[in-house]
Amino acid sequence: MSGYHHLAGVYAAAITPLKPDYSPDLENLPLLLDFFTRRGCHGALLLGTTGEGPSFAPRERLDIYRTALEVQRTHPDFHLLAGTGTPSLEETIELTRSVFDLGFDGVVVLPPYYYRKVSDDGLFTWFREVIKRGVPADGALFGYHIPQISGVPFSIDLLARLKDAFPDRFTGLKDSSGDPDFARQLGDRFGSDLVVFNGNDRLFTDALQAHASGCITAMANIRSPDLRQVWDAHLKGKTDPFAQGRLSTTRNVMDRYPPAPPLLKALLARWHSFPLWSVRPPLLPLDEGSMVKAVLELSATGSTKTPLSS
């Protein structure tokens, strides 16, 4: 991947395996990550939105992070990113520092999402403290831009301030806005200086053409082979409209059955023989009728037949 950051590539925004009592299924987490390695992923993000990150206490998060590292015994080049953003400045700093102490490759940090009408100055100050106190000199912090969920967007100017102030440690952004104009603005303003991970499968090809460095998506739990085909074609200076088309149609179906974690867990159980993992309240399992409808719609897109399958 000449010319790209060493963390560039295709990442699964991993679901979090849970037992029926809602506790983390730590025994099966390394098996899920191993599954991703065999499906073309370069890495995984733990405890992001798809991983139900805000639903877990710091102690539980650290247990999950430690367990995830087991995948690197057999796949040392598989990158691990951790979601560490919370509304609490001190908790975010402690989690971030602990993740780097464990040996993770980077963190993906939501802005503090309780106060929704804060200024760029306030957000800059918050991230400045997280980076100064939580991120080592060789660490990589990615902002998490998902304003439709967090209610707190990253402006282009805020990103520029953070990159200027911390050119090495503020590495980039996970852009899950689904806004093609914002993706183009990122490319126009930063080129490849800011490592941008696309978070919307429909926009993957367009984002790559706007200097994105890969993707971190929920759909990578089940569709990473197509994401990898789009990425590999891009590295050759080409596009793969057929793989991109499957991604777009699959995403259209999935968006009709929100939120993503219950559907993804049901599909992983049905298609790949994983346990039918729980979701943590307030999320609820997908009802059987919706599951049948979703499978029928996804089957029509070819989503049950992919290369690199286990």
Q: Which residues are catalytic?
A: 49, 114, 144, 174
**Assigned token pair, 207:** 């984002």
Q: How many CA atoms lie within 13 A of 239 on its CB side?
A: 11
Q: Which of 188, 195, 248, 197 is nearest to 223 (CA)?
A: 248
To which residue do tokens 């729980």 refer?
278
Q: Which of 201, 274, 221, 261 is nearest to 54 (CA)?
A: 261
Q: How many CA atoms lie within 13 A of 74 on its CB side?
A: 11
Amino acid code (one letter) for 203:
L
Q: Give the span between the Cα atoms of 148 and 258, in whole angstroms.
A: 14
Going by the DSSP 8-state scheme, the letter that residue 285 receives in this structure is P
Going by the DSSP 8-state scheme, the letter that residue 113 receives in this structure is -
Going by the DSSP 8-state scheme, the letter that residue 55 receives in this structure is G
Q: Give the span between the Cα atoms of 227 and 215, in whole angstroms.
A: 8
Distances in whole angstroms, Cα of residue 2 to Cα of each of 6, 8, 9, 272 = 9, 10, 12, 34
Distance between start and end Cα atoms, the chain: 25
Q: Give the span between the Cα atoms of 6 and 3, in whole angstroms.
A: 9
Tell me, rounded to whole angstroms, the distance of Cα 51 from its chain centroid. Answer: 9
**Assigned token pair, 310:** 């286990």
